[in-house]
A and B are shown apart, each in its own frame.
Chain A
Amino acid sequence: MTLSIKHLSFQYGHQIILDDISTAVEQGELVCLLGPNGSGKTTMLNCISGFEGSFDGSIEIEGMPVSEMRDAERARHIAYMPQKDEVNFPFAAREVVLMGRTPYLGRFDVPGDKDRALAVAVLKALDIHHLADQMYHTLSGGERQLVRIARGLVQGAVFQLLDEPTASLDLKNEMMVLEHISEMMLTSSHGIVMSTHDPNHAFYFAQRGVKTRAVLLEAGTVVSEGAPETVLTVDNIRRVYRLGTQVLHFTAEEAEKPQSHIVPIRTERGI
């Protein structure tokens, strides 16, 4: 399946947020959406998910416009994990995962035993079954993200949109989330769009053998897209972030392939 985005433009009042973006996400491919704050990453994800409906251009899955899909049908194709996590009522993590089954339930149904079994299976597959009975809002940031990833898997959507899944996580939790995302890509054929602030995430996924594509945004337009090595160059980063960087190459212990790593050196003030 292909999720294609054609001539996507979005305005908020007179302010242009997205300006004629065209790209596509293939099944089995991970797209890293990069760009400075305010470059339109979240807006783009909101548009793709269908939540923001008043855009120009088209977003289609296999020729079917997402905006014309019924709510449940769309939810079976696209799962969205927004950055802001708004749960303020206490629910067990198990229930939060179970909510992923909603697009398969009738409007008045509640989940049944099969849904429950599936939720447990996914929790076990992600190695977080011990969190099942804990209250979601008492979990750590990293654990919460894993529970939400589990919910996306239970939702069974091919395309998963992740808005900065590692935002405000500590080093270990960040790595844990990245590992789970790459395992998800390697074991099943999802198409993931993940926005992130760290270009090194794209290098990490590429090194793990995930088919990775980087899309670099600046002020609502695509500056460059393609393999992480060709997009995330010192020149492109300087242009978009106004930041001087250096690219290092190293081979991690027990890793098969070498990996690139971008290190910020100094900001270019006054440019």
Chain B
Amino acid sequence: MSNRNSLTNHRKTRLRMISVCIALLPFAAMLAALFLGRYPISFIEVLQRLWLGITTWHYDVQDVVAGVIFQIRLPRAILGFFVGGALAVSGAVLQGIFRNPLVDAGMLGVSNGASFGAVLGFIFFNGRYGAVILLAFSFGLLAVWMSYRIASAYRSTPTIMLVLGGVIVSSVFSALVSFGKYIADPYDELPGIVFWLMGSLANTGYRELMIAIFPISISFFVIYLMRWRMNVLSLGDLEAFSLGVNIRRTKGILIACSALMTAAAVAVSGTIGWIGLVMPHMIRMLIGSDYRTLLPLSFALGGGFLVIVDIFARSISSAEMPIGIITALVGAPFYVFLLRRTKGRNW
């Protein structure tokens, strides 16, 4: 008995160590994002400028190093953290609600809806940034709303129907995106569309950060408040209901929040796959399925991962690489490694 107790204690300490590491990952990644890149800046220089920035709250406009750090790399790193976190958390929430490890926000039509909105922005507004973001955001939410309307035509099991509705809406918007690409000007508009569809944080700054940060933080806050109810939902609808959880309302709020945070993320960064699907799995395998830790750690891992991937995206070649390519190339082997180590435990 005492042997087993010490064993579980040992396990608990290990879990806590891993949790702390994951929680610190985004900070380390964001710091690294400040000195890594095509423009050479040393670690010492970053620390100097950061210290100056924090103590005096402004920086010398003539100083190119400070400009690169504060105007380009810092907002981009923070945005990467929020976008990655949002994608991972919405994946964790939706996988839990639909009781299906293969679901992410794309399943509800958010990604394809937002893509179509962006395509409209490129074609009709010459790719003006504000228009693209606004249209992507609106169409992302519109797509979820349409999926929801289709699902509510059925009487029973609304969540399964929501997936069906999402598939229908997704395919319609995907066809519309293709149509948009077909009629787009191949020299002027098409490259922007294609690049956007592959996902990128290129040319983002404080403006994009300001647009994305509020929907993402508010949604995450609401989702985090419902963490215990989400645990109870893992028992299945019938048992959760008998424990006094209003299934319809709880799921409705959670789906709405996931849709909102994903739409905000996709609007500023384009469609970045893989993170929403895989980061929550990693946390489930490493730490467990308790949403009290799963939600914040998914945010940290997804956010940290995207910041790191973005460093590669902008440093590998002189031209920016689309992030979606690297997330899959870097993430897939790591995921397989983890799957072999943990033998897919916890799913």
Contact = CB atoms under 8 A, between A and B. Distances in A.
A51 B96 contact: no
Interface residues of A, number: 38
Contacts of A161: 242
Given A86-B236, A88-B99, A95 B244 contact: no
B246 A71 contact: yes
B292 interface: yes
A71 B244 contact: yes
Interface size class of B (residues with CB under 8 A): 20 to 34
A75 B241 CA distance: 8
A89 B242 CA distance: 19
Contacts of A82: 236, 238-239, 242
Contacts of A103: 243-244
Interface stretch (B52-60, B225-233, B298-306): B225-233
A155 B243 contact: yes
A78 B244 CA distance: 10
Nearest to B294: A89
Interface in A81-99: 81-82, 84-91, 95-96, 99
Nearest to A50: B241
A42 to B, nearest CB: 10
Contacts of B99: 86, 88
Given A89-B289, A89-B346, A91-B234, A51 B242 contact: yes
Contacts of A133: 8
Contacts of A89: 96, 234, 284, 289, 346
Q: Which of A51, A79, A89, A91 has the most CB of B within 10 A?
A: A89
Interface string A204-246: 0000000000000000000000000000000000000000000
Interface of B: 8, 96, 99, 225-229, 231-232, 234-236, 238-239, 241-246, 284, 288-290, 292, 345-347
8 contacts: A78-B242, A80-B242, A88-B234, A89-B234, A99-B235, A102-B229, A102-B244, A109-B228
